[in-house]
Amino acid sequence: MTRKRALVTGGCGFVGRHFVRWLLNHDYAVTVVDDLSTGLAPHAWPRHLRVTDEQRKRFTFHHGDFRDYAKEAIADFDLIVHLAAVVGGRLMIEGDPLQVATDLAIDATFFNWVVKRKPLPRKVLFFSSSAVYPISDQTLSHNHPLTEDLVRYDLDTFGMPDMTYGWSKLTGELLAKFAAQTYDLDVVIYRPFSGYGEDQDFTYPFPSVIRRVANKETPIIVWGSGKQLRDFIYIEDVLDAVFASESQLKPGEALNLGSGVGTSFVQLAEVAGKVIGHKAEVVNDSSKPEGVFARVADCKEMFKYYRPTTSLERGIEIVYEYQRSEGLLSSQRS
């Protein structure tokens, strides 16, 4: 029997290496392309994600820019997970908007490659972002759960996405839809909200807030007003939702990935304090960016296929235990 082949672009990043582990565990032969601008080289992956000796013969790593890889390779894969992008949290989105706009070039190269370097891959998973949603629906005075159909692509009705990152991902979605409609590419679109996990970089808020609490900082500082709402979903729930739904979505269809529950950063710090056992005042730092006020998914469509099983409390425990076991807390480094 021929083994299925998968490509993961940006496969050394936080989300990518979790996909690689899933695919290797399900007997795929996996190729990863990553320039390591933000990702970790495979030998440096966290122990629970590292490629085993048995899996190594099914694992190929190309160190370099995907755009260079696409000049020589063909898209002959059973599954492609397209994650390659310039990332780096809120500071990157607001502080270096032109660097983030590089995603436009990456996605344009990707979709030209998959439809023109035949044969077509059998399935493509395009990872977009909740940043594509209109910021006018995420303000203090006007916010509500975000349904997939709020993202529109005609000039008369679409809303302003979040910064250049939102624009680039919105354009990537449009390219995915063109690829499905014009070139018969079986591509589906995922819009993750605030995904988190134990090995996520500290440029992202969830592990950073947990580390501040675990370090027994007093007070606990959160960015912006601290009242802004985010929809946190654990990375393993992201993967389970994807593989429960990808075969049932129509080409060009988009699906939210979230919990459907909004949690403020003040609340996150307070819940973490209860879980970890550190009671301290939570104060905000208004000099730091906070982004939109309320970004919460409407998950009705996702819940047709999958419901997250990891509670916020359990997710905090997982992240805390990982940071403690890996010596990532300040008390362990003194």
161 confidence band (pLDDT: 50, 70, 90)? confident
Torsion of the alpha carbons at 246, 252, 253 and 258, rounded to the nearest 10: 70
Domain with 42 in it: 5-195+233-257
Q: What is the CATH number of the domain that holds 277?
A: 3.90.25.10
74 lies in the same domain as 145:
yes
217 lies in the same domain as 157:
no
Asked if residue 131 is part of any domain, the answer here is yes
Residues 133-155: what's their mean pLDDT? 85
The pLDDT of residue 95 is 58
265 lies in the same domain as 146:
no
Q: Residue 118: how many CB atoms within 10 A of its CB? A: 10
184 confidence band (pLDDT: 50, 70, 90)? very high
The pLDDT of residue 91 is 53
- Least confident range from 52-56, 95-99, 176-180, 239-243: namely 95-99
98 confidence band (pLDDT: 50, 70, 90)? low
Q: Residue 218: how many CB atoms within 10 A of its CB? A: 12
Asked if residue 302 is part of any domain, the answer here is no
Give every CB contact of residue 80 below 8 A, 6+ residues apart in sequence: 6, 7, 8, 9, 114, 121, 123, 124, 125
* SS3 state of residue 46: coil
Higher pLDDT, 328 or 88: 328
220 lies in the same domain as 240:
no
64 lies in the same domain as 131:
yes
283 lies in the same domain as 322:
yes
86 lies in the same domain as 203:
no
Residues 139-148: what's their mean pLDDT? 90
Asked if residue 153 is part of any domain, the answer here is yes
Residues 27-48: what's their mean pLDDT? 95
Mean pLDDT of all residues belonging to the chain: 92
pLDDT digits (tens, 9 = 90+) for 63-94: 999 999 999 999 999 999 999 987 655 555 55
DSSP per-residue string spanning 48-105:
GGPPPHHHHTTEEEEES-HHHHHHH-----SEEEE------HHHHHHH-HHHHTHHHH
pLDDT above 70 covers a percentage of the chain that reads 92
Asked if residue 304 is part of any domain, the answer here is no
- Least confident range from 14-28, 71-85, 160-174, 285-299: namely 160-174
- Dihedrals phi, psi of 234, to nearest 5 degrees: -70, 145
Task: Indicate the number of domains in the chain.
Answer: 2
202 lies in the same domain as 72:
no
115 lies in the same domain as 92:
yes
202 lies in the same domain as 191:
no
pTM score, whole prediction: 0.92
pLDDT digits (tens, 9 = 90+) for 214-249: 999 999 999 999 999 999 999 999 999 999 999 999
139 lies in the same domain as 169:
yes
Q: What is the CATH number of the domain that holds 14?
A: 3.40.50.720
* SS3 state of residue 43: helix
Asked if residue 188 is part of any domain, the answer here is yes
Asked if residue 42 is part of any domain, the answer here is yes
Q: Residue 232: how many CB atoms within 10 A of its CB? A: 22
pLDDT digits (tens, 9 = 90+) for 263-303: 999 999 999 999 999 999 999 999 998 889 999 999 999 99
Residues 110-137: what's their mean pLDDT? 91
Q: Residue 100: is its pLDDT beyond 90? A: no
125 lies in the same domain as 226:
no
Query: Using CA atoms, how far apart are residues 251 and 248, in angstroms rounded to an integer?
Result: 9
